[in-house]
Amino acid sequence: MQEQKPSTLTVIRYQLSRPSVMNWSYPIMVSSVMTAMIFAVRCLCTFTGFPIPATSVIGNAALNILVTLLALVLPAALLSNGLSDRIVGRFTGAGSLILAFCSGIPLMLITTATYNLSAWVILRFGTKMPFPFLFTDYATSSAAGEVLSVMSDTVLPAAGASLFFFGLMWSRFRSKERFAGYAIIAFAYMMFSLDAVSALGLLITGWWCCFLRTKTDNIAGPFVCLVAARLSQYLFTGTLGKVDILSIQTYSDIDSVFFYSSLPAAFMGLVLLSFFMKTLNSFYDSFTDEEEDSRYDNSIPAFDKGINLTIIVSGAIFFTLWILMLKGVHL
């Protein structure tokens, strides 16, 4: 008697259901759905004339907190099995975390340079400047406003990203799949941002934070690096700044000073990151346990188990959100 094949609906339902052992693709789908919901809320606030503008300091802070909690922290908490998933990692010493923190400075040099160059390229070969999903167009000079800005757009998102991308997702790749894991996590990190001008810098940031997560064996490594990258901008005020995309309309509006400062900054950042990479590799070799890594690798699905319908759904959602963002639907 011929065995009856499952229906298409049954296959789809199985593909989109929560796996018994979490893979790397399912969390991306959950986060993409939550991000789409918040994007819809952002557009609704704009269309209905909500009293607090989404681009105000308070409105932007509220949306950042909402995105962090619903699209990053909540999925990481619900989809993990706790400490057994190695999401948080282990404490490997203050030295590696200090190095991770200091590496935020050269990372900032590189991302600022790529931001300025990307802004010029977009205006030179595009039609208009695409504004990111979350941004503020209200300048604040008060200390309280600056603290709120740093906490809402840097500290909290850095904590959420470290927990989700460099915690949950990182833990779903085996030690021999690190290269593929770095590429996928960095790309997902960039897509989640919905920021065209920062896209290249976010890819570099995602890759470096994956490296830090591996070499420090702790999500605190990426977290302190992201915070340091933001705080180090204050050290270079007046020397290396970001192009203000709110005040420019054509590529000729970008002062040549940004080019003269960005190119040397990118070169210096790459040199310094290579130093941190070499030093962190030495730290990692001193505490790594190959037997423990091998046991953990056997407890998680292989890479190909994550290649399923959830990737198509996630890609479709993020592709749609990027198209809407580039068209300025949220403005």
**Residue 14 belongs to some domain of the structure:** no
**Residue 274 belongs to some domain of the structure:** yes
What's the pLDDT score for residue 206?
96
* pLDDT beneath 70, residues of the chain: 1-4, 82-84, 138-141, 287, 289
What's the pLDDT score for residue 1?
44
**Residue 68 belongs to some domain of the structure:** yes
What's the pLDDT score for residue 27?
94
What's the pLDDT score for residue 3?
58
Pick the closest to residue 133 from 327, 329, 325 (CA basis): 325
What's the pLDDT score for residue 57?
81
- Give kind and range of the element (H or E) at residue 278: helix 257-287
**Residue 145 belongs to some domain of the structure:** no
**Residue 143 belongs to some domain of the structure:** no
**Residue 3 belongs to some domain of the structure:** no
**Residue 114 belongs to some domain of the structure:** yes
Pick the closest to residue 37 from 10, 65, 86, 70 (CA basis): 70
pTM of the shown model = 0.91
**Contact criterion met (CB below 8 Å) for 320 and 39:** no
What's the pLDDT score for residue 289?
67
Query: Phi and psi for 238 in degrees, rounded to 5?
Result: 90, -15
**Residue 13 belongs to some domain of the structure:** no
What's the pLDDT score for residue 325?
92
Query: Which of helix, strand or coil describes residue 33?
Result: helix
Q: What gap in Å lies between CA 96 and CA 282, rounded to an integer?
A: 10
Exposure of 304 by Cβ count < 10 A (0-12 exposed, 13-18 middle, 19+ buried)?
Answer: exposed
Range of the domain at 123: 23-136+151-327
User: Domains in the chain: how many in total?
Assistant: 1
Count, residues in the chain:
331
Residue that has been written with the tokens 């976010």 in this structure = 202
Contacts of range 61-65, beta carbons closer than 8 Å, 24 or more positions apart: 61/148, 61/149, 61/151, 61/152, 61/153, 62/152, 63/38, 63/134, 64/134, 64/152, 64/153, 64/156, 64/157, 65/152, 65/156
What's the pLDDT score for residue 73?
94
- Tens digit of pLDDT for each residue in 221-267? 999 999 999 999 888 877 777 888 877 877 777 777 777 788 889 99
Query: Which of helix, strand or coil describes residue 89?
Result: strand
Q: In whole angstroms, what separates CA 302 from the centre of its chain?
A: 24
